[in-house]
Structures are given as structure tokens and as C-alpha cells.
Amino acid sequence: MQAIILAAGESSRFWPLNQRHKSLIKIMGRPLIWWTLESLRKSGIKDLIIVENPLKEIESELKNYFSGLKIKYVIQKKPLGMGDAIFQAKNLIKDNFFVIHAHHFDINEFVKPMIEKQKKTKAKLILLGKKVDKPWKYGIVELDKKNRDRVIKIVEQPKKERASSNIGLKGIYLLPKDFFQYYRKIKKHIYDFEDTLNLYLKDNDVRIIISEKEIPTLKFPWELFEVTKQLMNKSLKSKIEKSAQIAKNATIKGKVYIGKNTKVFEGAVIKGPCYIGENCLIGNNALIREYTNLENNILIGALAEVTRCIFQEDIHIHSGYFGDSIFGKGCRIGAGTICANVRIDRGEIKSVVKGEKIGTGLDSLGAIIGENTKIGINCSLMPGVLIGSNCIIGPNSVVSASIEDNTTFYTKFEGIKKWRKNT
């Protein structure tokens, strides 16, 4: 059995964390795609084809890891959709094959059931689905009324009032080799993969497995929180490396990993599950808790509180509160900065993606910040704000809306003074 891993897209909806492909975001010291490859290895699939973009970021990153797998790379020159990405691997496919997105670290849980479904039903093509609350956000499947696992139609992101099913596709497919013959017949566009599936099921029996398990998606950056939570629940191991230095009156509770040469100072409290990488420094009386992921070379200053956050490498923060937030590598955050993570009315937090305000489905979400951004002292970041890479946020600023890459932003004192006078 072979598998094609899709890792060539622009990840445009993943801004401001899309400086590289989103599968290269690190969780517990490894990029997400590494966890997916490891999951495939556990399932017995070791013949892999990774579709990447011309920058070859995936290939370059994975050279740093040993996976014990047979991996070949193909290039998708332009982001022309999922169908085109799969088609780039056609000459390497021998027989039936899986297609998955690069963040599916749980693929080993579905390989065996999908293969068994194929053998039992004699259907060549098997899909994976799940009941969803908002079907208009997914590709949905319509099922035969008699055979409730037989697919009769696929609709990509139907209009809200026309959604005829609540079974959404979850990005894992078991395809036959003759899929490519059908793809050649389809008019090419961004959703030609779904068109090919519809053409195929007109001539062939197509079945679906409907999972009861929550299957994480990764279209938007805030979905990293659920991915991190599931990964930690599944793979985090309690360990303190021998070279780590832990103060005698520091408190460590629950499942916590602390990497090499990391220092935890007096009075610090770490409540797991948490991952803390190598060469980190946790300052006096700092509090780290609940599914926080700190990669290598992180400095958490004295009196800071960090909860349910994801920090990439080489980030320095000082005193302040950081809740449900994500920081790209290389950020510097001044003392007294607060990441507000709950609306004052406790409602759903919305954010702006590609110019459109959308609901995140979360009532607790802080800031999401790109790489190498610097934030001055005493700044306030409102719930759900997205801040780009290479930005400078001046001291005492209040950030209540998204800020594009390479922007210098500050709240003018004169503006505050005028507002006070008028009120």
C-alpha cells in the first residue's frame, strides 16, 4: 500500500502562520508532517509520496529527521488544487493508494477500517466522513437510502440553505489507480478533485466510513489548538531531561516534558499537560499550564502566566498574561503585555481571514502572531486579533483589529487624549 501526502498548498487561510507550509509548524519538537509520517509507519504504510511546492521546504525539513520510510517527492509547480496535486504522483503509483493531508497525525486509526471496508464491499474507492454541525463549510456526501454507506453524490461547500446532508468529508481517501483515468476527463479547476469523485461514482461503487471520533481539520490557524490537544493526549510523555535545572521550590504537576538545558527558576509552577523544549528559561513565579507547547529557546519572564499557548522557537516574553495564543518563531514581547482571550460578553470570537470576518467557533481565543514580530511594553491585544510577521507594535498600544505583515503600528497618545476630552 502507498500513500500520497499533500503538502504543496499556499496555506493562505492559515495566515499569519503561513511563512512556510502549515505542516511545518512544530508541536512537541517535531513538525506536524513528521507526526503524520510516524502515524503512517505505525499503520504499516512505508511507501510514501509527498507532494510539495517548488521551494522544497518539506524535503529540506525532513532531512533533519530519521523516519525509516521510503519517501519520494514530487513538485506541484502551481497551487491548482487537490486533483492537480495528486496527478503529479501518477507515475509513482502502483496500485490502490491513500491520499491524506499532511496534518493527519491520526491516520493509523483509519487505515485498517478503510482497507477492511474495501475488501468487504468490493468497492474500489473508500471515503472517510463524519457528522458535522455546519455542513456548508465542508465537502458533503449524499448517501443511498438503502445502503447507508454507499455514496451517490459529493457536493463541495453547498449553500447553507441547500445542504442536503450533514456528513462531511474529512480529507482521507483510499483511491484506485484508475482514478487518474477519470481525472483526465474532467475540466480542470480548483475543485476538479470532487468532480472526479462524482464522475467515478457514476460508474463504480463508492463507500464511506463515518467516524465517531473527532477528526481535526487545519484550514485556519486557531485549529492548531485542537490538533495540539489531541497530539499531547496521544503522544506526550512525562520526562525531565538530566541536564535540565529545576529549582527546589518550583512546582511541576501532571504530564510535563522538559527538554535539555532548560532552567526552571524559583517559585515557577508548571501544570501539565505541557511540553517545554530545549534551552528554555522559565522565570521566577511564572505559571505555565494546560496544553501549552513551548519549542526550543523560549524565555518566559518572571510573573508571566501562559495557558493553552503554542510558541514556536526563539521567543522571549516577560511579565503579562498570554492565553490561547500562538506566536511564530523569533517574536519579542515587552513586559506587561496582555493577550485578552475572552470577549466581555462571553460570545463567540470572530476573526478576519482574507478580508472576511468569520466565526472561529471558539469563546476563548487570544492573539495569533507571525514570525519576528516585536511588541512593546504594556500592550493590549484583543481576542482573535491576527498580527503578521515582521511587525513592530509600539508600547502602550491597543490592538483590536488584524495587522498585515511588515507593519509598524502604535496607538497615538494624542488620539487617546482627544477621546477623553470628547467624552
CA 180 centroid distance within chain: 29
* pLDDT tier for residue 354 given thresholds of 50, 70 and 90: confident
| Bridge partner residues of 332 (DSSP) | 316, 374
Is the CB of residue 45 less than 8 Å from the CB of residue 2? yes
Is the pTM higher than 0.85? The answer reads yes
Please determine, for residue 422, whether its predicted confidence score (pLDDT) is greater than 60. Answer: no
Which letter, b or e, does each residue of 79-111 get, where b requires 16 or more Cβ atoms within 10 Å of its Cβ? ebbbbbbbbbbbeebeebbbbbbbbbbbbbbbb
pLDDT score at 413: 57
Percent of the chain with pLDDT over 90: 79
pLDDT score at 401: 92
- Cα separation, 307 vs 288, in Å, equals 6
Contacts of 417 (CB under 8 A, 6+ apart): none
- Cα separation, 242 vs 230, in Å, equals 27
pLDDT score at 421: 45
pLDDT score at 418: 46
Cα–Cα separations (whole angstroms), residue 171 to 56, 104, 129, 209, 216:
23, 8, 8, 12, 10
Phi and psi dihedrals of 286, rounded to 5?
-75, 155
Which letter, b or e, does each residue of 249-278 get, where b requires 16 or more Cβ atoms within 10 Å of its Cβ? ebebeeebbbbeebbbbebbbbbbbbbbbb
Please determine, for residue 334, whether its predicted confidence score (pLDDT) is greater than 50. Answer: yes
Q: Is 304 left (phi over 0), alpha (psi -120 to 50) or beta?
A: beta
Please determine, for residue 64, whether its predicted confidence score (pLDDT) is greater than 90. Answer: no
pLDDT score at 162: 63
pLDDT digits (tens, 9 = 90+) for 152-179: 888 877 666 666 678 888 899 999 999 9
Please determine, for residue 24, whether its predicted confidence score (pLDDT) is greater than 90. Answer: yes
- Cα separation, 18 vs 21, in Å, equals 6
* pLDDT tier for residue 134 given thresholds of 50, 70 and 90: confident
